[in-house]
């Protein structure tokens, strides 16, 4: 195996492949940063080009685009509060407040270093633990998915501390929105009000672009500030952030990357869930929980390391079982098949050079990403030096193009504008856009797996047995309860503490 790893490394460092890595990363980062252009689209667009290359070079490039795009999504999340891909929703929670405080550079560098770290950890799982991880993925059935999403939703409770009720209402409205369209069990249209356009349901990405970025533009129009936020480029930000992460966020990074790798192996769950769960866990284990959401590096690091770790994870079931762990992995599998390479455990023996080069190249990709990303940050951060009036126009154009590009449909543009208004006016009455986005993202997965679990329960003859006896499901239930109870306990604890302080005074 060591021999294969070495071959893989030599192959990745060949000038042509190394060039592809740099080009793929740059392209991926730009695609990821533009809201509406997703990692899946970026990789799918480049697949035909790989047909002209040898399969190894093609895969190396696709891996670089995938990694770049997932990282790139954080740039717009941090700079203009607009997640470039659904995986970066949780990055806005702390990334945007950091920008507002004038430390955009800190947030961007934290995201870059965390992404690279997460990417490497995910790849190490792929390299050394592919077989057992693939078996674990298969243990994950409908009830486990259901509880995983409920666990993800429980984040709302701790996210909207101080206003749990409004957070819950926002989340529930998001889930309600996600039920528009064909129902997963019977295939019949719901809440379409006779309009066939709604049969396809509300697309997640236009809704999110609306909630986060279009509403942000309306706020910008209303603000008197000439710039989004103060920004002064300083030298050595990368090093400063690296030191800070090493000092304060070692455990956080490792935990988030492991969560990301595990969530990544599940088909049907990806970066969007991993980043939210990791953010929540980072907050739970941190001594200064109250600082989360106010703009700290730890929040950005948790979300971004987790979503890049899902990349390695999502390739595990694809390479070993032929079951892609994410939409991008599915596209990459298509490319493999088109080159006449069959995925499966045998790929590691029959096509060892290809498989190991691909995996090892991902490690190289993540290391190179630090340099390419640091270079690009110098440019992207300058967005903040552009007066608000121009930025506003640019964001509106990007929002419209991005929404339309999802499936070339004007409906999605209208959906985006509608949610923009919901986000703006909702925000005024304490409505929580993050919670609503969670509802919209997780709603369909919850419903799908709930109805599937109920079908299975019908055959097993017991609902209780299906939902409450599988070990992984039980673990997730316990985690959910802990997650919901912690903020309640904390509030009590804090008021007690305050009471003590008052007594002493």
Partner 1 sequence: MKKNEKMVLIIGIVVILALALTGCGQTSMATKEEYPTKPLSMVIAFSAGGSSDIQARIMQKYWNKYVPEQPWVFNYKVGAGGAIGFAEIAKAQPDGYTLGGLNVPHMILQPMAQGAQFSIDDFEYISQVVTDPQVLAVQKDSPFKTWKEVIDYAKANPNKLKVGIVGTFSGHHMMLLDLQDKTGIEVTQVVYKGAADQNAALLGQEIDLMIGNVNDVMRSMENMNILGIAAEKRNDFLPDVPTLKETGLDLVSDIRRGFAVPKGTDPEKVRFLRDAFKKIQEDPDYLADMKKAGQPTDNMSGEEFDKYVHEQQEYNKNLLTKFNLIK
CB of 135 to partner 1, least distance (A): 9
With contacts defined by CB under 8 A, name the span among 87-95, 195-203, 223-231, 237-245 that binds partner 1: 195-203
- 64: which 2 tokens? 């670089």
Write each residue from 258 to 287 as x if it is in contact with partner 1 (CB under 8 A), else as -, in one continuous string: ---------xx-------------------
When asked if residue 189 is in the footprint of partner 1 (CB under 8 A), the reply is: yes
User: How far is Cα 504 from Cα 238, in angstroms, rounded to an integer?
Assistant: 45
| 391-430: contacts with partner 1 (CB under 8 A) | 407-409
Considering the complex, what minimum distance in angstroms separates the CB of residue 204 from partner 1?
13
For residue 179, state whether it binds partner 1 (rule: CB under 8 A): no
Joined tokens for residue 305: 């390391």
Q: Which is closer to partner 1, CB of 62 or CB of 400?
A: 62
Place of tokens 């608000």: 388
Query: Residue 368 is encoded by which pair of tokens?
Result: 């190179």
Q: Does residue 334 interact with partner 1 by CB under 8 A?
A: yes
Shortest distance (Å) from residue 331 CB to partner 1: 4
- The residues with which 181 forms a beta bridge, in sequence order, are 190
Question: Applying CB under 8 A, does 43 fall inside the site for partner 1?
Answer: yes
Angle, CA 133 vertex, CA 154 and CA 153 arms, to 5°: 10
Q: Should residue 219 be labelled a site residue for partner 1 when binding is judged by CB under 8 A?
A: no
Structure tokens at 116: 């690279």
Cβ of residue 72: shortest distance to partner 1, in angstroms? 19
Degrees, nearest 5: CA angle 110-438-495: 80
- Of the candidate spans 169-177, 342-350, 369-377, 483-491, the one that interacts with partner 1 by CB under 8 A turns out to be 342-350
Whichever of 181 and 427 has its CB closer to partner 1, that residue is 181
Question: Is 221 among the residues that bind partner 1 (CB under 8 A)?
Answer: no
Q: What is the CB-side half-sphere exposure of residue 191 using CA atoms within 13 A?
A: 11
From the list 42-50, 67-75, 231-239, 429-437, the region that binds partner 1 by CB under 8 A is: 42-50
Say whether 182 sits in a helix, a strand or coil: strand
**The tokens 């790929």 sit on which residue?**
347
How many residues of this chain bind partner 1 (CB under 8 A)? Answer: 53
CA angle 374, 119, 369 (to 5 degrees): 25
Indicate whether 141 belongs to the interface with partner 1 (CB under 8 A): yes
Closest CA to 215 of 469, 495, 428: 428
Nearer to partner 1, 66 or 424 (CB): 66
> Does 345 interact with partner 1 (rule: CB under 8 A)?
yes
40 near partner 1, rule: CB under 8 A: yes
- Residue number with CB closer to partner 1 (338 or 370): 338
164, two tokens: 């749990």
Smallest distance from the beta carbon of 297 to partner 1, in angstroms? 36
3-state secondary structure of 184: coil
Q: 59: helix, coil or strand?
A: helix
189 forms bridges with which residues in the sheet?
Answer: 182
Q: b/e string for 280-294 if b means 16 or more Cβ within 10 A?
A: bbbbbebeebeebbe
CA dihedral 393, 45, 74, 372 (to 10 degrees): -110
Greatest Cα pair distance, the chain, in angstroms, is: 76
Contact 399, 214 (CB under 8 A): yes
- Interaction of residue 324 with partner 1, rule CB under 8 A: yes
Residues between 448 and 477 that touch partner 1 (CB under 8 A): 448, 451-452, 455-456, 458-459
Place of tokens 């008021």: 495
Which of residues 37, 64, 137, 398 is near partner 1 by CB under 8 A?
137
Q: Which of 276, 207, 284, 234 is nearest to 106 (CA)?
A: 234
Q: In this chain, which of 52, 162, 186, 501 binds partner 1, going by CB under 8 A?
A: 186
Quote the CA–CA distance of 177 and 190 in Å, as a whole number: 11
* Per CB under 8 A, 63 contacts partner 1: no
Looking at the Cβ atoms of 196 and 247, the one nearer to partner 1 is: 196
Is residue 44 close enough to count as binding partner 1 by CB under 8 A?
A: yes
CB-based contact 119:366 (threshold 8 Å) = yes
The contact set with partner 1 (CB under 8 A) reads: 40-41, 43-45, 47-48, 137-142, 181-182, 184-189, 196, 199-200, 267-268, 317, 321-324, 330-331, 333-334, 337-338, 340, 342-346, 407-409, 448, 451-452, 455-456, 458-459
């Amino acid at each position: 195996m060591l021999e294969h790893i070495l071959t893989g490394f030599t192959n990745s460092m060949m000038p042509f492949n190394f060039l592809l890595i740099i080009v793929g990363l740059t392209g991926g980062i730009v695609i990821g940063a533009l809201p509406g252009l997703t990692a899946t689209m970026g990789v799918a667009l480049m697949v035909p080009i790989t047909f002209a290359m040898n399969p190894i070079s093609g895969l190396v490039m696709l891996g670089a685009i995938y990694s770049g795009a997932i990282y790139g999504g954080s740039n717009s999340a941090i700079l203009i509060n607009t997640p470039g891909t659904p995986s970066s929703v949780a990055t806005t929670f702390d990334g945007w407040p950091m920008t507002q405080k004038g430390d955009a550079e800190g947030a961007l560098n934290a995201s870059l270093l965390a992404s690279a770290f997460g990417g490497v950890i995910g790849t190490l799982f792929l390299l050394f633990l592919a077989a057992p991880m693939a078996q674990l993925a298969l243990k994950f059935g409908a009830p486990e998915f259901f509880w995983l999403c409920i666990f993800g939703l429980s984040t709302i409770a701790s996210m909207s501390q101080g206003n749990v009720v409004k957070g819950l209402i926002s989340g529930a409205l998001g889930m309600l929105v996600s039920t528009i369209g064909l129902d997963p069990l019977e295939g019949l249209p719901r809440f379409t009000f006779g309009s066939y356009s709604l049969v396809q349901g509300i697309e997640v990405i236009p809704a999110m672009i609306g909630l986060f970025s279009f509403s942000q533009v309306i706020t910008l129009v209303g603000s008197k500030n000439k710039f989004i936020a103060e920004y002064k480029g300083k030298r050595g930000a990368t090093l400063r952030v690296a030191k800070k992460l090493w000092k304060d966020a070692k455990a956080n990074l490792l935990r988030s990357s492991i969560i990301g790798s595990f969530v990544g192996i599940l088909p049907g769950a990806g970066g969007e869930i991993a980043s939210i769960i990791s953010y929540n866990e980072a907050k739970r284990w941190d001594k200064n929980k109250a600082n989360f959401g106010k703009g700290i590096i730890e929040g950005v690091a948790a979300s971004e390391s987790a979503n890049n770790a899902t990349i390695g994870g999502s390739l595990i079931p694809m390479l070993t079982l032929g079951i892609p762990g994410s939409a991008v992995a599915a596209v990459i599998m298509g490319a493999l098949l088109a080159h006449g390479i069959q995925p499966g455990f045998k790929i590691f023996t029959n096509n060892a050079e290809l498989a190991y080069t691909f995996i090892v190249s991902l490690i190289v990709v993540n290391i190179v990403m630090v340099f390419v990303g640091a270079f690009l940050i110098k440019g992207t951060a300058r967005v903040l030096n552009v007066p608000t009036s121009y930025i506003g126009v640019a964001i509106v154009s990007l929002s419209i193009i991005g929404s339309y590009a999802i499936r070339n449909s004007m409906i999605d543009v209208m959906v985006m504008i509608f949610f923009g208004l919901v986000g703006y006016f909702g925000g005024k009455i304490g409505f929580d856009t993050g919670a609503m986005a969670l509802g919209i993202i997780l709603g369909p997965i919850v419903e799908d797996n709930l109805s599937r679990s109920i079908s299975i329960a019908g055959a097993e003859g017991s609902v209780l047995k299906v939902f409450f006896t599988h070990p992984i499901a039980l673990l997730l239930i316990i985690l959910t309860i802990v997650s919901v109870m912690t903020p309640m306990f904390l509030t009590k604890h804090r008021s007690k503490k305050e009471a003590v302080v008052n007594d002493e005074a």
